[in-house]
A and B are shown apart, each in its own frame.
Chain A
């Protein structure tokens, strides 16, 4: 099977790789580009541990073919902190102890960022439903929800001030 050449943008930088037509975007990110922050928890789009943002849309990278990334803009957990400064969501996850084992955390942070990009002022219910595609088995979600709501409040304040 011949490989396909894919040219894409990952976290703002140009990236290219060769991929089998059947390879998922998740495996291309992890195996070809060395970006192992996105995790495989199920491979069937049920757990959200592989969440990335493609052209502004939240997707399970295990369900997207790597070849489909041609010409797309991909955002992964590795691009969330800018120049070594944590994103407010990352900071709030630390302050609220919103992670235990940390395996689902990259996917949840990416999904939460997609939420706040789309809705800067989500209610608790909206936050819970948006994150319903991201399984966490450790925390019971309580501190995750608090952290996302708190980050959203801080980001709104910063936006108002600027």
Chain B
């Protein structure tokens, strides 16, 4: 563990921030007491199951549910016809703006099924076995249509048209949107370059791979009021999306967040909840729905597969003069790949005078992509960081020195127009360069790869409340689901602000009826934005505490100071007086009622994240298998509130990236059916695949946050894809431009290079 940054010497005033207390929800999670999405059972609940398309692309000619309805124990059956037609209504929820028509169509297909696994009917029955039996009795007539999954093929003339009404430049097309960013004259800039490197790259769709499948229980009363218990990245997102898709007033729905068993962006959308709502309404009983792992793979958000081109121009000394990047991303069945975010991040580690970044959002007959940790950025970074490695090789420069020479610094204007400020990128490059792992000697068939990554991080809408108990303890409520220890960071920031020990704070994740609106947990925003709301709510409570103390002493409130968990003042005689939090809380009932505050804000000024990763691998020349020998992950974290959970984010992100680089991919057969919809064949990293992941936390505080917080959760997945590819190149001498770097692919590339 890296303990060096705990309680940095520069901030002796901080007593709680920077320490490593045991997380408040920890005991529940090591004893099995914590309740996740599938752990709740409501009295009288029915079990819902979904019928899914066996075809990648087909017109639904007819659905006959008569036999299913007649099966004893079946209480309700729904198809797309039971859902309201939402057209092109846009709704701002989840991660960004959603087209509700697309959301609805993805939840339940209407006229066509657009991918293997697309839902088209659902049943609620007395038991899961009866529900499954009923699905077999639903008769569907399909007109199977030609399908297309590969992004280049989907853009080619004559490709199967997935959405009849979609056009690009007046022609029917699967291109949903083209993005372009950049500045300067590319031709002039490339003409001034001493060296140019070019490459074409591909990646496959990969899944977030959270271990908890999607699950919910919905109960709709005869008065139309509904309760949802669900695991998600945001109960307010679930409330609005579920109500709108099911055609119910949003105010009729209350969502209680279950513990969430991983999300990584994949739980920022709804799949089951609107279906369970309608089934429950029809059946007049609660309906529980739990996805199988196969359903999770076939029907929930992977991230895009891609096809990319990169051209970089540089001077002999390594100075970059121009970059030209083109990225085509699979969106899956509906528009909305993360290609715009990929465009905006892909060159943001560099100070570039001239650049062009073009992105294509392309629909394909595969599951609609969902957000996945720094959406789009790892894919783009795979291409550009591979090209940067080639450039370093061509120029004979050290890869870290090359990046330092061209590093974005304070004042650098990124491709998307933002001026970067208070960034710790160069500091991170230097800290990683100096890590002892980089002195390790490499043997035969071993190689070292370097790559860097950028992610904006987000602020956004958050709410928090604090309420003091009469013993001076405090309940802090937010609406941000705790995926990786955020209750701990909320409690710590409240404790630091209030001047008490962290065990006096009980942080909870509240339901949608008990706290103000908040965006999903995503965009690395929770500790930054929700944390800011917690701090401000605590400060409001402190103002009230000071007012109560002033009232007790009969002095003006402005003469009272709050320090170390107590109100202090000098009275008229100049005598020091103090009242502790406990004393003020105990007396609150007599001085004006219980003390508390709630704050809702839209946080601005999230500091961007920069990551620098170095990976050492050994490639088995016989099998092509890659062993990760050493992994060093450096990051500017702003300020680590709970350093152990920040390390955890860095380690977890790095390892997800290692899986993406080496093993993970969706494999489709010739009919467009996913062939590896299970953890045996879709292989995520296991403990024996990995070494320890050594972290280097660099703290360049964000001045826009009271404690200097920058988001930390996403950027660590940005560099690993290229770091692994660059290490494999160093080990084998062969550049491989396609992921994953699976043993057969490495063998084939090495054999081809020898021939």
A interface residue numbers (CB < 8 A to B): 20, 22, 30-31, 35-44, 46-47, 49, 76-78, 80-81, 86, 90, 93-97, 99-106, 109, 125, 127-129, 131-146
CB-defined contacts of B642 to chain A, threshold 8 Å: 97
| Chain B interface helix/strand/loop/mixed | loop
B212 and A103 form a contact (CB under 8 A): yes
A65-B274 Cα distance, complex, nearest whole Å? 33
Residue B401 interfacial (CB < 8 Å): no
B692 and A142 form a contact (CB under 8 A): yes
CB-defined contacts of B652 to chain A, threshold 8 Å: 100, 137-140
CB-defined contacts of A38 to chain B, threshold 8 Å: 32
Residue B260 interfacial (CB < 8 Å): yes
A141 and B29 form a contact (CB under 8 A): no
A137 and B485 form a contact (CB under 8 A): no
A144 to chain B, nearest CB (A): 7
CB-defined contacts of B685 to chain A, threshold 8 Å: 140-141
B560 to chain A, nearest CB (A): 38
B213 and A44 form a contact (CB under 8 A): no
B260 and A101 form a contact (CB under 8 A): yes
- Per a CB cutoff under 8 Å, which of A78, A81, A125, A139 touches B648? A139
Residue of A nearest to B127 (CB): A20
A103-B212 Cα distance, complex, nearest whole Å? 7
Residue B89 interfacial (CB < 8 Å): no
* Known contacts A36-B32, A47-B679: A97-B20 contact under CB 8 Å: yes
* Known contacts A94-B26, A94-B30, A127-B687: A142-B36 contact under CB 8 Å: no
- Per a CB cutoff under 8 Å, which of B210, B293, B692 touches A137? B210
Residue of A nearest to B26 (CB): A94
A104-B209 Cα distance, complex, nearest whole Å? 12
CB-defined contacts of A49 to chain B, threshold 8 Å: 211
A94-B23 Cα distance, complex, nearest whole Å? 7
A134-B475 Cα distance, complex, nearest whole Å? 35
CB-defined contacts of A37 to chain B, threshold 8 Å: 31-33
B688 to chain A, nearest CB (A): 4
B293 and A43 form a contact (CB under 8 A): yes
A120-B36 Cα distance, complex, nearest whole Å? 32
* Known contacts A31-B41, A42-B293, A86-B31: A103-B211 contact under CB 8 Å: yes
CB-defined contacts of A42 to chain B, threshold 8 Å: 293, 678-679
CB-defined contacts of B32 to chain A, threshold 8 Å: 35-38, 76-78, 106
B510 to chain A, nearest CB (A): 19
Residue B684 interfacial (CB < 8 Å): yes
Residue B261 interfacial (CB < 8 Å): yes
A100 and B211 form a contact (CB under 8 A): no
Which 5 A-B pairs have CB atoms at the shortest separation, nearest pair first?
Answer: A37-B32, A103-B261, A102-B29, A140-B655, A97-B644
**Which of the listed residues B35, B38, B261, B656 has the most CB atoms from chain A within 10 Å of its own CB?**
B261
CB-defined contacts of A132 to chain B, threshold 8 Å: 686-689
- Per a CB cutoff under 8 Å, which of A22, A101, A140 touches B690? A140
B688 and A138 form a contact (CB under 8 A): no
A107 to chain B, nearest CB (A): 9
B213 and A101 form a contact (CB under 8 A): no
- Per a CB cutoff under 8 Å, which of A43, A86, A138, A145 touches B484? A138
Residue B483 interfacial (CB < 8 Å): yes
CB-defined contacts of A145 to chain B, threshold 8 Å: 687, 692
- Per a CB cutoff under 8 Å, which of B34, B645, B649, B684 touches A102? B34
Residue of A nearest to B209 (CB): A137
- Per a CB cutoff under 8 Å, which of A77, A94, A141 touches B687? A141
A97 and B656 form a contact (CB under 8 A): no
A101-B1 Cα distance, complex, nearest whole Å? 20
**Count of residues in B whose CB is under 8 Å from the partner chain:** 62
Contacting residues of chain B (203-251) with chain A, CB-CB under 8 angstroms: 208-213
**Which of the listed residues B129, B262, B264, B642 has the most CB atoms from chain A within 10 Å of its own CB?**
B262
A140 and B693 form a contact (CB under 8 A): yes
A140 and B29 form a contact (CB under 8 A): no
A20-B118 Cα distance, complex, nearest whole Å? 31
CB-defined contacts of A109 to chain B, threshold 8 Å: 30
A109-B252 Cα distance, complex, nearest whole Å? 41
Contact mask B89-104 → A, CB, 8 Å, 1/0? Answer: 0000000000000000
A62-B293 Cα distance, complex, nearest whole Å? 13
B562 to chain A, nearest CB (A): 31
Residue B753 interfacial (CB < 8 Å): no
B693 and A93 form a contact (CB under 8 A): no
Contact mask B479-521 → A, CB, 8 Å, 1/0? Answer: 0000111000000000000000000000000000000000000
A135 and B645 form a contact (CB under 8 A): no
B262 and A101 form a contact (CB under 8 A): yes
A100 and B645 form a contact (CB under 8 A): yes
Residue B344 interfacial (CB < 8 Å): no
A49-B678 Cα distance, complex, nearest whole Å? 14
A133-B686 Cα distance, complex, nearest whole Å? 7
Residue B27 interfacial (CB < 8 Å): yes
A128 and B27 form a contact (CB under 8 A): no
A136-B684 Cα distance, complex, nearest whole Å? 9
Residue of B nearest to A80 (CB): B31
CB-defined contacts of B680 to chain A, threshold 8 Å: 44, 46
A80-B32 Cα distance, complex, nearest whole Å? 10
A109-B368 Cα distance, complex, nearest whole Å? 35
A46-B296 Cα distance, complex, nearest whole Å? 15
Residue of A nearest to B651 (CB): A140
A148 to chain B, nearest CB (A): 10
Contact mask B663-698 → A, CB, 8 Å, 1/0? Answer: 000000000000000111000111111101100000
CB-defined contacts of A138 to chain B, threshold 8 Å: 262, 483-484, 648, 652
B690 and A128 form a contact (CB under 8 A): yes
A17 to chain B, nearest CB (A): 15
B232 to chain A, nearest CB (A): 12
B643 to chain A, nearest CB (A): 9
A39-B215 Cα distance, complex, nearest whole Å? 12
**Which of the listed residues B32, B213, B679, B688 has the most CB atoms from chain A within 10 Å of its own CB?**
B32
Residue B442 interfacial (CB < 8 Å): no
CB-defined contacts of B34 to chain A, threshold 8 Å: 102
What are 5 pairs between A and B in contact, CB < 8 Å?
Answer: A41-B211, A46-B678, A97-B648, A101-B212, A135-B679
A39 and B651 form a contact (CB under 8 A): no
**Which of the listed residues A38, A44, A101, A137 has the most CB atoms from chain B within 10 Å of its own CB?**
A101
CB-defined contacts of A144 to chain B, threshold 8 Å: 687
Residue of B nearest to A124 (CB): B692
B693 and A142 form a contact (CB under 8 A): yes
A20-B130 Cα distance, complex, nearest whole Å? 13
Residue B192 interfacial (CB < 8 Å): no
A61-B260 Cα distance, complex, nearest whole Å? 22
**Which of the listed residues B213, B293, B648 has the most CB atoms from chain A within 10 Å of its own CB?**
B648
A105-B259 Cα distance, complex, nearest whole Å? 13
Residue B139 interfacial (CB < 8 Å): no
B655 and A141 form a contact (CB under 8 A): yes
**Which of the listed residues B20, B483, B679, B686 has the most CB atoms from chain A within 10 Å of its own CB?**
B686
A123 to chain B, nearest CB (A): 12
